[in-house]
Structure 1
Amino acid sequence: MDELLGDYGLSVSRMAVSQSNWREDETLSAQINVMSRRQRYQAAYFALRRLQMPLVDIEMPTDWGVDPVALNSLLREGVERLDGEANEGIERAIAELCSAPLFESQVDPEFAESFQLEAINGWLMLGEALGEMSVIQTERIISLAREMADYLDSCMDSSLTVVDGGARRESYLADVNSRLSAYGLGYFGTRNLQVERDCHESILAAPSGEDLLSSNAGHRLVTACDEYSGELSSALRAFIVE
């Protein structure tokens, strides 16, 4: 694995991931390019929502010193306002989270812990982007969810660890539409792109100024992101050595 030094002081072992044509496909960026700042924030939020369960469902190492209250505050503040403007609530929550010893340490994470660190870095990137939410900043966050999904697939393929639900995942890939199967990704990579596409289409179709998360479409997107994130977390648990 390559090493990634996060923009916010987290030294993380970065995953070497297979090169696939999805990284070069401009159609995956087309919708982001036409979004408003508010819409880009929503797209980034949903991407981070798809990485959320490992943060709340898997216990972090004690020596990281991450305060669950501070983490929950950040997750809560992130959904309070979906406009992408400067947000004191998120800034304050990030400052509280960054007071953890984790941010003063060199970290050599286990597999599941790498996902937790990347998810945290994603939220910090979101905080840094507030007020601008440029296309590049937004795509960087969305790409994080894509890369983590592909990395999990790669590790599952190369590992002897048995992750429950293999038959269901194979059935999904056998039935997925050609637009998604053309990327040649595994279950999590494909499923993430499917949910991402649904999120982006709904964001662009929503009436201007609508409180998306309170709408039926928003509820459906949250459910889809959480179901995916729960599957991701469950798969990671199979790699945790008690």
Structure 2
Amino acid sequence: MDWREDDTLSAQIRGMSRRQRHQAAYLALRRLQAPLVSIEMPADWGIDPAAVTTLLRKGAARLDGEADEGLAEAIVDISSAPLFESEVEPELTELFQLEAINGWLLLGNALGEMSEEQTHEVVGLAREMATYLDSCMDDSLTVVDGEECRERYLAGADERLRAYGLGYFGTRNLEIERACHEAILAAPGDSHLLESPAGSRLEAACDEYSSQLLPALRAYAAE
């Protein structure tokens, strides 16, 4: 089964309000966050780590999908970096950083609207990067610590998730995405899910997944 053509994944986003879609997009970007904050970016990109910290902080502070001046300013600061005036041929680790930044730019531009299509674009970014990393690992002889743990996870994963035939990161990302979307849809319409204990658990799951990207990306960066 091709996850890109599975309408059940799209149906959850279709059923969300704008606030809920924003929360789903935010959590997707949270799953890509660790490479931005834990791996140094190339100096010639000209991106100030403090500007990234501000972007992430402002993004986490406004989760209702409405326009936000502080987040808009943070995006302008990032967008003015020399990176955006040059052509870049990124290595794998740098690609993750670039796509994570691009995801935040997409989210920032969607504030005040946060359409179904815009949400799909951000959520799809986390899916694509997960499956791309799996494909790189499958095609490489590079050893990434934790292989046995990843294999055990796949062997015990939900049957529907295993039906997609994805590797560890693709499967685990979809599992967390599903948990996030189900919780978002189940929460009362005006509630602040991510300020609740359930929301904290979702953020923790996204952070744990994101941190698991680091050993793989660092292994390729060391080659």
Q: 2: distance between equivalents of 1:92 and 1:168?
A: 42
For residues 174-218 of structure 1, give each alpha carbon's deviation from its aligned partner in whole angstroms, at most 9, with x where no partner exists.
Answer: 000111001000000000000000000111111222222221101
Pairing 1:72-151 to 2, within 5 Å after superposition:
72-151=53-132
Find the aligned partners of 1:241 and 1:180 in 2 and give their Cα distance: 32
Distance 1:100 1:93 in 2: 12
1:59 partner amino acid: E
- The Cα of 1:112 is off from its aligned counterpart by 0.4
Runs of 4+ in 1 over 2 A off after TM superposition: none
Q: Tell me, in whole angstroms, the C-alpha distance in 2 between the residues paired with 1:43 and 1:213.
A: 10
Give the TM-score taking structure 1 as reference length. Answer: 0.90
Instruction: Report the Cα distance in structure 1 between the residues aligned to 2:67 and 2:158, rounded to whole angstroms.
Output: 39
Q: Does 1:50 align with 2:50?
A: no
Task: Measure how far apart 1:91 and its partner are.
Answer: 0.6
Question: Where does structure 1 lack aligned partners over 5 or more consecutive residues?
Answer: 1-19
Question: Is 1:222 equivalent to 2:194 in the alignment?
Answer: no
Name the structure with the higher helix share.
Answer: 2
Amino acid at match of 1:36: S
What do the CA deviations read for 1:5-61 (whole angstroms, capped 9, x no partner)? xxxxxxxxxxxxxxx610000000001001000000000000000000000011100
Paired residues, what number?
Answer: 223
Indicate yes or no: 2:163 matched with 1:182: yes
**Structure 2 stretches lacking a partner, 5+ long:** none
- 2: distance between equivalents of 1:203 and 1:241? 39
Corresponding residue of 1:213: 194
Secondary structure in 1 aligned to 2:119?
helix
Aligned to 1:12: none
Residue of structure 2 equivalent to 1:9? none
The separation in 1 between residues aligned to 2:208 and 2:31, in whole angstroms, is 8
What is the distance in 1 between the residues matched to 2:31 and 2:214? Answer: 10
**What is the RMSD computed on CA atoms of the aligned residues?**
1.0
Corresponding letter in the other structure for 1:71: V
SS, match of residue 16 in structure 2: coil
TM-score (norm. length: structure 2): 0.98
